[in-house]
Amino acid sequence: MVVLRKVVIVGDGAAGIIAANKLRFHTSEKELDIVVIGNTPRHFYKPDGVLIPFGYKNYRKSVKPVNFLLNYSITYMKDEVIRINPDENILFLKSGKSVIADYIILATGDRYTPEEIPGYDGEAKHFFDLQNAMELREYMKTFQGGQVFIGSSSEIMQYPESLYEFAFLLDSYLSQNNLRDKTSINLTVPQTDLSPEPNTSSTLEKMLKERGIEYHGGVVIQSVNPKNKEVTDKKGQTYKYSLLVLTPPHHGQEFIKNSGIADENGYAIVEPNTLTVKGNKTLFAIGDANNLTKSKSATTAHAQASFVASAIVSEIVGGLREDKLTSKLPEFSLTGYNSGFSFFDLPGKVSRDVNPNKGDFMLRWTSADTYFSTILRGMV
């Protein structure tokens, strides 16, 4: 006799949707009850955020309704989790309800806290969600040149490569609009280097220099002075700007911290080989919700969602399971309009040979189609 099990996935972003769809792909409704808890009406493909401000991508191609993205027989609860009992797998919801599950997957992503940076609100711009990417698009339509500062106010951030991508795309946009000689571009990143692979980092630095983009590594901004139009980093260094593009501080969700399972930044502390939380073999944290890396990416979320789903399916219905985390998909970095390169990041091995070409740019430009139609659906 088949015993119906229940898995609750907290979060309706990339990691949560992929995990839910993969679980349903390999189990029936009689074997596994799948519940996704979230309250996001539209899912935004974040890699398009660097393209939208320059009009290189129509934002309508970058969003889909969350309900549309979930496969058949998955229950979607519009609610919020306010606390978890990690010992008994009980979730307490904002609506006053509580849910008990056989398995819990935390896929809650990052939380932006711009209020932590004095002067940030109303002055800094970014592209990490659709609203802010569109606001930056409207600003760029009237931009006539000046000092552009690009940086981060957090060591932890989603896809840090997006900072140099934005700088390269800005260079292309300004050149196309005869504004390049009227604009200085200053790029800073929170990491020491642009890439974990030294050869890639040095190649990208050379490309930035060739395009007249000033670059500094290991810079984390801690305050904004709107009156003087300058930012100050943690070392006391100041930088001038007329346009400020600044990543907001990133943290994990407050309820994870309040549940006693998080580090100081709010990210769930997981066992690296199993992604389990607090010794509970049925409580997992995946993607941006866990503490494994400061550099968050959709590719990592995809790999971890697949890994956890295979572990749960193996326990419920048997069959093979993934024995370790692996990156299945290539990533693409943009180096300007009609220019990009592809790479794989694998545990213990990084492959990032920089060979800018139009083909990789087009693969990245059209990647939202593949993302929505196959990756989120759990087909790869």
Q: Is 4 helix (H, G, I), strand (E, B) or coil?
A: coil
Q: How many domains does the chain have?
A: 2
Whether residue 9 sits in one domain with residue 100: yes
Query: In the block, which residue shows the tokens 């690296």?
Result: 272
As a three-state string, the secondary structure of 41-80 is CEEECHHHHHCHHHCCCCHHHHEEEHHHHCCCCCEEEECC
Token pair in block for residue 352: 């990032």
Is 47 exposed, middle or buried, given 0-12, 13-18 or 19+ CB atoms closer than 10 A?
buried
Final residue belonging to a domain, choices 217, 249, 281: 249
Has residue 379 been placed in a domain?
no
- Note the pTM of the prediction, 2 decimals: 0.94
Whether residue 196 sits in one domain with residue 259: no
Domain hosting 260: range is 5-110+252-328
Final residue belonging to a domain, choices 191, 220, 249: 249
pLDDT digits over 288-334, tens only?
A: 999 998 889 888 899 999 999 999 999 999 877 877 777 667 788 99
Has residue 354 been placed in a domain?
no
pLDDT digits over 9-62, tens only?
A: 999 999 999 999 999 999 999 999 999 999 999 999 999 999 999 999 999 999
Confidence of residue 195 (pLDDT cuts 50, 70, 90): confident
Token pair in block for residue 358: 């139009």
Amino acid making up residue 286: I
15 close to 253: Cβ distance less than 8 angstroms: no
pLDDT digits over 88-101, tens only?
A: 999 999 999 999 99
Has residue 28 been placed in a domain?
yes
